[in-house]
Structure 1
Amino acid sequence: MKTEALPEPSPDNSPKPGVLRRLLQQEDLNFLLTNRVPRIALTRFMGWFSQIRSPGLARLSIAVWRLFTDLDLSEARQQRFASLHECFTRELKPGMRPIDPDSAVMTSPCDAIVGACGTLAGATVLQAKGFPYRLEELFGPRQDTRPFHGGQYVTLRLTSAMYHRFHAPADATVEHVTYLSGDTWNVNPIALQRVERLFCRNERAVLNLRLPGGTPIALVPVAAILVASLRLHFADLLLHLRYHGPNEIDCDVPVTKGEELGWFQHGSTIIVFTPPGFDLADGIAAGARIRMGQALLRARAPAMRMAAAAQP
């Protein structure tokens, strides 16, 4: 394993944030600490702990959190939090995420780092180089995935420090939600290069939407360690490891481009799927950083565009 010399400790003998981050970036150690642990038990504990309402405990937890991440709360609507959960699911100040108004553009539903993306080889998707998975495995046995064969996909990874709410990428109607319970593997690049079919193993939801012209799109929020909780506003649902409700949920909810759909409790991944007829927007490639509301995909044919003119 490749290692590097660490800087001298600070005078108070406490490690500097950069040291802790570099330690966690060492692949073997990162994988051990975030996967070779009781993942589901830790995730349930984190769900309980984050809900404790204590401003003092929240401040202390946020200070520890900042040792490991680049957490920036300058954009947050509120600056004081009664619980860690309030910080995880924080709102932003108005106007912090402008929405691309181009009717041909489908915008990013969240702040993220772009992972694997491109054109599906039939129904095969890449989670990382050399690690393919099948669309049918991700969507579940009751979904018809044929409209997305040969289409575009973009994997969007939310880090723990990012804004955790996600939004509608276009004017659309939410028609169906499929909830699939599962594991809580970490979804960082280190795990994606070691665990085959990771997204198909983890807890996830499949959100089926339809654009005004009839074109289907899908968003697949995937849970991860410490993050197995997903709030969906449009269906008034909280999906989590103890959820015992129906797994197939019919909806008929119109949403507008940029409208908030829900939130993760910590950070995770959203995979966006379109049928053929879309291209990646300029600058969208693995490793790129994107903010909610920026251009993610562009429709080629006018009939597939999300134009307001298509609405009565």
Structure 2
Amino acid sequence: MKKRLYKNMVELTRNPLYTKMLKTFTASKLSGRLNRSFVKVFDIDQNEMERELHHYRTLNELFVRKLKSGVRPVTADEKTIISPVDGLLSQIGTINETATLRIKNKDYRLSTMLGFEKAVKRYSGGIFMLFYLSPRDYHRIHSPMNGKVVKRWALGKYSEPVNQWGLLFGDQPLAKNYRLITELEANNKRMAMVKVGALNVNSVHPVHLKETVEIGEEMAYFSFGSTVILLFEKGMIHPIFDETTVNYAIKQGQKIAELE
């Protein structure tokens, strides 16, 4: 019962009134009374949290919690690509030559997701990886590699749920939801990190504004659970997973590929 309630709180509809009420509540001290229950229902590991549970005054503070130093070790190898988040590596696949991604038996147009035709051409034939974050996961987003920040941009205004039903019945939520996109360059090739909001207003908050980024460096966080999509140019990486990988539990910092 409680788990269903909490899921309803983070897997939202496009009703702006409900969204505003929910955001107000989760930022209130009253919501902090749910923290212990939330941790128990979703089996969150308190030993990893930066602070003890009673220090989080609201449900939102708990949701965007940081972790203790060292609990997500990163291999600082120039060729290593790591997972940017905790969650499920939900899907890995090839971006076909018509620039669409086949996700959960549904086609997503790269032109809609990225908004720039030049970027669309760049990633055609490359590899995409889809990461889904559940309410229990650590919701901060880190760089998957060392690189130069080439471009940052935001698209979309409203967001539909990105859970199983949202992906099945929504209007291309992964391509049309509010999203922040960061494009990185390494070895003269580019990758794009698409951070997809799950609330009908901005739920993605950037924290990195430098011109370069190091592997494992924090780049943004979600104030509500959502999805990260990595797009790689053709020939840029060699994944350690194949296209049969579905819903593989993964931790931020875990190796997912190597640069070619």
Q: TM-score, normalised by structure 1?
A: 0.73
Unaligned runs of 5+ in 1: 1-14, 236-251, 301-312
Contiguous gaps of at least 5 residues in structure 2: none
Whether 1:65 aligns to 2:12 is no
* Aligned twin of 1:132: 107
What amino acid is aligned across from residue 59 of structure 1 in structure 2?
G
Shift of 1:227: 7.4
Relative to structure 1, the CA distance from residue 227 to residue 281 in structure 2 (aligned partners, 3 Å threshold; closer, same or farther) is: farther
* Percent identical: 26
Q: Partner amino acid for 1:126?
A: R
* Deviations, residues 199-241 of structure 1 (Å, cap 9, x unaligned): 1221111111112x22111000001137732221123xxxxxx
Amino acid at match of 1:172: G
For residue 186 of structure 1, give the secondary structure of its aligned residue in structure 2: coil
What is the match of residue 113 of structure 1? Answer: 88
What does residue range 1-312 of structure 1 map to in structure 2 within 5 Å? 20=3, 34=11, 37-52=13-28, 54=29, 57-66=30-39, 69-79=42-52, 80-122=55-97, 123-129=99-105, 131-141=106-116, 144-211=119-186, 213-225=187-199, 228-235=202-209, 253-277=211-235, 278-282=237-241, 285-300=245-260
Q: Which deviates further from its counterpart, 65-74 or 290-299?
A: 65-74
The SS at the match of 1:49 is: helix
The one-letter code of the counterpart of 2:140 is R
Change (3 A) 1:34 1:219: closer
Residue 58 of structure 1 deviates from its aligned partner by: 4.2
CA shift, 1:63, in A, is 3.6
Listed one character per residue, the Cα deviations across residues 160-203 of structure 1 (whole Å, up to 9, x for unaligned) are 11101111111112221111123221111232122242212211
Whether the aligned pair in 1 keeps the contact of 2:149 and 2:184 (CA below 8 Å) is yes
Tell whether the 8 Å contact from 1:166 to 1:260 is kept in structure 2 after alignment. yes
Distance (whole Å) between structure 2 residues aligned to residue 114 and residue 43 of structure 1:
28
Contact 2:11 2:198 in 1 (8 A): no
Equivalent pair of 1:47/1:226 in contact (CA under 8 Å): no
* Kept after mapping to 2: 8 A contact 1:39/1:184: no
Matches of 2:117 and 2:207 in 1, distance apart? 24
Asked whether the 8 Å contact 2:126–2:232 carries over to 1, the reply is yes
RMSD: 2.6
Tell which structure's C-alpha radius of gyration is larger. Answer: 1
Give the distance between the partners of 1:24 and 1:256, measured in 2 at CA. Answer: 35
Query: What is the distance in 2 between the residues matched to 1:275 and 1:60?
Result: 46
Contact kept? 1:176, 1:209, Cα under 8 Å:
yes
Displacement of 1:276 in angstroms is 1.1
Distance in 2 (alpha carbons) for counterparts of 1:286 and 1:49: 35
Q: Report if aligned partners of 2:25, 2:31 keep a CA contact under 8 Å in 1.
A: no
Give how far 1:42 is off.
2.6
SS in 1 for 2:216: coil
- Describe the shift of the 1:261–1:182 C-alpha distance in structure 2 as closer, same or farther (beyond 3 A): same
Runs of 4+ in 1 over 4 A off after TM superposition: none
Structure 1 residues 70 and 58, CA gap change in structure 2 (3 angstroms)? same
The residue type equivalent to 2:213 in the other structure is: V
For the structure 1 residues 106 and 38, does the alpha-carbon distance in structure 2 shift closer, same or farther, using more than 3 Å as the test?
A: closer
TM-score (norm 2): 0.87
